[in-house]
Structures are given as C-alpha cells and as structure tokens.
Amino acid sequence: MDLDGGKRVFQRLGGGGSDAGDKQQKVCFHWRAGRCNRHPCPFLHRELPEPAARSSNGGLSSRRPHDDSGGGFSGPRQKAHSFNSASSWGRNNNRAAVPPKKTKLCNFWSQGNCTFGEKCRYLHSWSLGESFTFLTQLDGHKKVATAIAWPAGSDKLFTGSKDETVMIWDCQSGKCENVANLGGEIGCMISEGPWIFVGLPNFVKALNTVTSSDQSLAGPVGQVYALVVGYDMLIAGTQEGTILAWRFNTVTNCFEPAASLKGHNLAVVTLVVAANRLYSGSMDNTIRVWNLDSLQCIQTLTEHTSVVMSVLCWEQFLISCSLDKTVKIWVATESGNLEVTYTHTEEYGILTLCGMTDAEAKPVLLCSCNDNTVRFYDLPSFTDRGKIFSKEEIRTIQLGPAGLFFTGDGAGQVKIWKWLDKPVPAA
C-alpha cells in the first residue's frame, strides 16, 4: 500500500542535471525491490547515509535534531487535560509525539516480499505507537467488515459484513463458531443487553442471544446504516433519510414502532444519543439535533461541507467527522445552540471516530481516514499518539473489555488490539 496516493512518481532530471555524477547519488529503485538486472547499473546499490544536522555556526552538530513544535521524546509524559474548557482543544500540545523514524509503511513488506528485513527504511509493522499492540486477526468475511459487537458479559464476538453474513467468534479460541446468512448487506450492528440489532436493507433484525429468538422490525426504506439505543428506544438511520424508532413492549415481548423523524434529505449514516438529545449525521452534509421529549428537530448544523460520517458525545462536547477532512468539536452556547469551538484537519477524508481511554484512563480519539490508516490523538490537545495501517480502509472500530479494541477493514479482516499497561519505547 502506498500512502502517497496509490502509485509511485518517477521524476527524470533534464539538461545538466542528468549526468552520471547525479545518477550515482541516487539509489536504484529496482535494487531496493530486490530485482535490478542492469549490469552495470547507473544508480547506487547501497543506501545513502542520513544527512547530518548542522549547528548554528555552519559546522556539523552531534546533537540529535528535534522538532521545536513539541515533537520528539524530549518532553515528559503529560497528564490528561480537562475537557471543562472549550479553549483547551488543540492546545497544551506537550506530550511526546510518535517518533519520526520509520513512519511510512513498507509497500513491499505489506505484500510479503520486502528483501531488506530490519535494514529497510520503511515500517515493517501494522501499527506505529508505543501504547498499544496488535494481538490477532480474524479472517472469514469475503467483503467489507462493516460492524463489530461484543455483548456485555458474553464470551462471543459478533462481526458483520457486506457479504451478508454475521460471524460469531469464540473469544477464548479465536475460532468462528457460527455463520448466519441474513440475506442482505449488514450496514451496522450494535448490542444492548441480551439483544444484537443488525441493520439490513429495509428492516432491522433483532437477535436475542439468551433465548435464540429473533424479530424483524419493518419500516425502513433502503439500507439501515446506523443504530443506537437510548431514551428507552431503538433508533435507526435509513438510506432515504428517515429516522425510525421502536420501543420494546414487555407484555407482547415485541418491538413496536415509536417514532418517525423526518428532516434529512439523504441517508442518515451515524447516530448518537446523550441525555434527551439525538444527534444524526447525514450524507446531506448536516447534523441534526433532535429533542427526544418532543421528537422535534431543534437545530441543524451546517458547518461540514461533505458527508458527516460519524458523531460522538464526550462530556459536554459533540465531536463530528466528515469526508471534508475535518474533525469538529461542538460546544453549547448560553442559548443552548451548538457552535464549533475547534476544527482539526486531516490530509484525507475521515470515515469513522471512536473515543476511548488508554491503560492510564487518559482520553484518546481514533480517526479512521480513507488513506487506509487510523490516527490516534490525545484529547483535548490532539497530540499525535500513534497510527494503525491497513491494506484497505478501516470502516468500523469497536471497544471491548479489558483494554481491547477491534478494527474491521475493506478486505473483511477484523483485527484485535490491546492497550498496554506500560508503554513500550520505540527501538
């Protein structure tokens, strides 16, 4: 995988810059790949030494270069910042950042054919960071892994995919115990109590993991992209833009329609509930705020310029991300309306967010980008904390117990990660 756009660019020098002397200062690309067959080759078959840092008087300095903006390892590890002040977002960026050495994934290693081994200048790992580690990979899905759920107290992990299946994994052995073909692409999946809710085209499937019973909740038109449980309701975001809600009737032991919220012009792809508010993000580039007492839309947020892919609530803040390459932090004003207090910009569109705490209970935000990476940031400073690489884009991130978290990607692979009790310094 090439993170610079999917292809390598070769630049040929013209005029006086293309003589043999200049060529001898370039490393042979084919030699690096282990397949140069030119004898003699006009380019170097060895790596060039790293440029040395220069002191202020023009001589060479033995001091290691560092980033005056706060990067490197010179600073001590900082305590988590309080979220109480909106002005703290993006500030106090004092925490030691990820080391600059080997920050790009080796394309040949990811394909299994790098010949340099430990001498390769690029990263031979699916992650970059000292606070978490890769545990194992679950293979089985044939298409995009779109959803992951681990019911509380269960020893089973559920994964859903566009291949129309839900796979059930034993958490002890890591083996797939069962595969349920639901007859439609899985758009989302959540767990609540004994229930697993699965978003499908034109309905929601409710599976009871205790009684092994199931129900099909009709009403949605098109794919169900988002599900959330809150305010004593199951709420679904649909492809046509309508938000539907059901309540469980303990007398009939069934889910019954409770509400239909209309306002979005295009598909609703993300939902979150906090207190008596529902926040919905849509392909129409807006976030709508709904009062769940009155079931009315009380505000429409229009600051994003592309699809709003994910929203989450953290303390008194709303965090949203979009294909417009931004993460926005929203805070309520005295009037009660939400306004942007901070905008973080990435190089690529952002597919999903996940908020979690590390092994030291410090808040971390995970941003999955469409360059096949997940970026880790300390909050509220947005200090770089690490990165996960993947062969294809990571579509879903899910928390688990005991410091575990899961990622599902475009190839159908589900990977299991864990926060480390003690960070392991980079070599």
pLDDT-based confidence at residue 399 (cuts at 50, 70, 90): very high
Q: Is the per-residue pLDDT at 338 higher than 90?
A: yes
Q: Is the per-residue pLDDT at 305 higher than 80?
A: yes
d(CA 232, CA 42): 72
CB 406 within 8 A of CB 418: no
Q: Is the per-residue pLDDT at 66 higher than 50?
A: no
Q: What is the per-residue pLDDT for 291? A: 97
What is the average pLDDT value for the chain, to the nearest integer? 83
DSSP 99: P
User: What are the tokens at 151?
Assistant: 């019911």
Among 245, 204, 206, which residue's Cα sits nearest to residue 223? 204
User: What are the tokens at 271?
Assistant: 């939902």
pLDDT-based confidence at residue 33 (cuts at 50, 70, 90): low
Judging by DSSP bridges, how do beta strands 165-170 and 277-282 pair with one another?
Answer: unpaired
> Angle at Cα 380 formed by Cα 407 and Cα 349, nearest 5°?
45
Please state the rounded mean pLDDT for residues 174-197: 96
Per-range mean pLDDT, top range of 106-110, 116-120, 359-363: 359-363
Q: Between 345 and 53, where is the model more confident?
A: 345
Q: What is the per-residue pLDDT for 48? A: 59
Each residue's pLDDT tens digit, 306-333: 999 999 999 899 999 999 999 999 999 9
Each residue's pLDDT tens digit, 110-166: 777 888 887 787 777 778 888 999 999 999 999 999 999 999 888 999 999 999 999
Query: Is the pTM here over 0.95, yes or no?
Result: no
d(CA 307, CA 284): 6
SS3 373: strand
Each residue's pLDDT tens digit, 253-291: 999 999 999 999 999 999 999 989 999 999 999 999 999
Q: How does DSSP assign 149-184, residue by residue?
A: E--TT-SEEEEEETTSEEEEEETTT--EEEEEE-SS
Burial grade of 330 (CB within 10 A; 0-12, 13-18, 19 or more): buried
Return the number of other C-beta atoms located less than 10 Å from residue 334's C-beta: 5
Please state the rounded mean pLDDT for residues 331-360: 95
Please state the rounded mean pLDDT for residues 205-231: 95
Return the number of other C-beta atoms located less than 10 Å from residue 295's C-beta: 14
What Å distances lie between residue 57 and 53, 62, 208, 335, CA to CA? 12, 13, 73, 58
Q: Is the per-residue pLDDT at 28 higher than 80?
A: no
pLDDT-based confidence at residue 417 (cuts at 50, 70, 90): very high
Q: Between 51 and 293, where is the model more confident?
A: 293
Percent of the residues in the chain that have a pLDDT greater than 70, as a whole number: 78
Is it true that the peptide bond before 401 is cis, omega within 30 degrees of 0?
no
Q: Is the per-residue pLDDT at 97 higher than 60?
A: no
Beta bridge partners of 349: none
Question: Which residues have C-beta within 8 Å of that of residue 113, sequence separation ≥ 6?
Answer: 34
